A = this chain, B = another copy of it.
């Protein structure tokens, strides 16, 4: 129905995460209706992220400086590394303003079913950092999915020979959540991770 250049862009948009065919059509029509200047701005922004953004050679997160802002911040402790799946998780964690260590981004989780092995994610880079000797604690902050748990466990085993504390972030009922609507696995985890109230 649409002309080939339109179809092509619709196809590319439809490949993006969370974009269905109808949204892709909408995005394509939006792009076509953009003034020339804004369209060039979009093209430049896309090529800029590819050109200017690379992986931080220390934590493997996306950065436009080397090392990244977090890794080069002297006020942050290099003794604690928080291991996350993706750069988005770094951003989520930073919003809490509670963590003052550094990060390590795996860029995925081990998932044999999807053909992702330890060599496909940033495991050896983490080992190299821990082997450096400065690290005292590694916090596994992968997602509480089957793959996230398995990856945390795998890394914990790998890091065992090094003299570091390995921890896992707590899972439980989200703040503001409701026991009634919490799934049983989360509830079991919440019970498991209960702490004494000191009054």
Contacts and interface: CB of A to CB of B under 8 A. Distances in A.
A24 to B, nearest CB: 10
A28 interface: yes
Contacts of A48: 5, 8-9
Given A27-B17, A32-B62, A9 B49 contact: yes
Specify how many copies of this chain sit in the oligomer: 2
Contacts of A64: 3-6
B50 A36 contact: yes
Interface stretch (A73-81, A84-92, A134-142): A84-92
A88 B32 CA distance: 12
Given A43-B47, A86-B29, A53 B18 contact: no
A29 B29 CA distance: 22
Contacts of A50: 31-32, 34, 36, 39
A197 interface: no
Interface in A1-39: 1-6, 8-9, 12, 16-19, 23, 25-32, 34, 36, 39
Contacts of A53: 3, 5-6, 32
Interface of A: 1-6, 8-9, 12, 16-19, 23, 25-32, 34, 36, 39, 41-43, 45-50, 52-53, 62-65, 69, 86-88, 90-91, 94-95
11 contacts: A1-B90, A1-B94, A2-B91, A5-B52, A6-B49, A6-B64, A9-B48, A9-B49, A19-B27, A31-B49, A43-B47
